[in-house]
């Protein structure tokens, strides 16, 4: 299940270090308010004996925000997305959001204007060749041996495929049979709790079980999905 939360910001700009920095705390805060044991076990040990955490979200996305060099501007027409392919986690997120009138995002207060659910059985854009395309709205983070990789780098597709196969294993679903990068955006760099996160938005084609494609739309592509990276359009 995916959840869109419509928000309005009370400040005109968000500092760059706060674009993704508050994401993890916001997510676990929502879970802790309704399912503290679930939040604790997910944070400390992952899910189902795996270190991965099957949950994703975005940083705030603002429509109509004025363009200003060097700053992340906001508007009264923003949104946050949350999701998980695991019903227990998704249900806790929905209940946590239902109890909120606002979300504190670093130095900004985001007033909640509405919440809308999207069921998980939707998949990406299907192509004539039978493949499914997914586009990310936040940068996808991929690493190998401690180094961030970008689309076009050696080993990028290999590591992205490995991450997807690991997610399929966590969910008990077949791993994708093929993964291709169709298009990519520019390099983006953010700071999260003092450490860099480097990635790029991507459009990928998957040859995969439809159940897994739907699950990835609720979880995200690549690493650090609990920090707002890799969310799928």
pTM of the model: 0.94
What is the assigned CATH class of domain 2-118? alpha beta
- The two structure tokens encoding residue 196: 């860099």
Is residue 148's pLDDT more than 70? yes
Question: Nearest 5°: phi and psi at 58?
Answer: -115, 165
Q: Which of 225, 226, 229 is nearest to 29 (CA)?
A: 226
pLDDT tens sequence across 68-97: 888 899 999 999 999 999 999 999 999 999
With tokens 């995969």, the residue in question is 208
* Contacts of 198 by beta carbon, 8 Å cutoff, 6+ apart: 139, 141, 148, 150, 187, 188, 189, 190
Residues paired with residue 136 on neighbouring β-strands, in sequence order: 232
Q: Find the mean pLDDT for residues 110-125.
A: 82
Domain 125-227 has CATH 3.90.79.10: no
Q: Above pLDDT 70, what percent of the chain?
A: 97
Q: Find the mean pLDDT for residues 9-20.
A: 94
CA count, 13 A, side-chain hemisphere, 100: 27
> Is 2-118's fold the same as 125-227's?
yes
pLDDT band at 193 (very low <50, low <70, confident <90, very high): confident
Domain extents in the chain: 2-118, 125-227
Mean pLDDT of the chain: 94
Q: Looking at per-residue confidence, does 121 or 62 come out higher?
A: 62
What pLDDT is recorded for position 209? 94
């Amino acid at each position: 299940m995916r959840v869109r939360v419509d928000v309005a910001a009370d400040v005109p700009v968000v500092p760059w270090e706060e674009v993704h920095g508050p994401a993890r705390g916001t997510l676990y805060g929502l879970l802790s308010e309704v399912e503290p044991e679930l939040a604790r076990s997910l944070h400390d040990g992952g899910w189902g004996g795996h270190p991965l955490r099957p949950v994703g979200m975005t940083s705030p996305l603002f429509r109509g925000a004025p363009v200003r060099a060097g700053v992340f501007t906001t508007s009264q027409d923003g949104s946050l997305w949350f999701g998980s392919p695991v019903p227990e986690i998704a249900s806790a997120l929905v209940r946590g959001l239902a109890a909120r009138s606002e979300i504190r995002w670093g130095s900004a207060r985001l007033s909640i204007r509405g919440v809308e659910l999207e069921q998980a059985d939707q998949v990406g854009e299907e192509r004539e060749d039978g493949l499914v395309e997914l586009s990310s709205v936040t940068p996808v983070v991929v690493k190998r041996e401690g180094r961030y990789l970008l689309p076009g780098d050696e080993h990028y597709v290999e590591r992205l495929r490995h991450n997807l196969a690991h997610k399929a294993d966590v969910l008990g679903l077949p791993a994708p049979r093929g993964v291709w990068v169709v298009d990519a955006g520019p390099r983006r760099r953010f700071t999260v709790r003092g450490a860099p996160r480097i990635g790029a938005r991507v459009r990928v084609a998957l040859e995969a079980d439809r159940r897994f494609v739907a699950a990835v739309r609720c979880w995200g592509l690549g690493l650090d999905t609990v920090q707002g990276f890799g969310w799928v359009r």
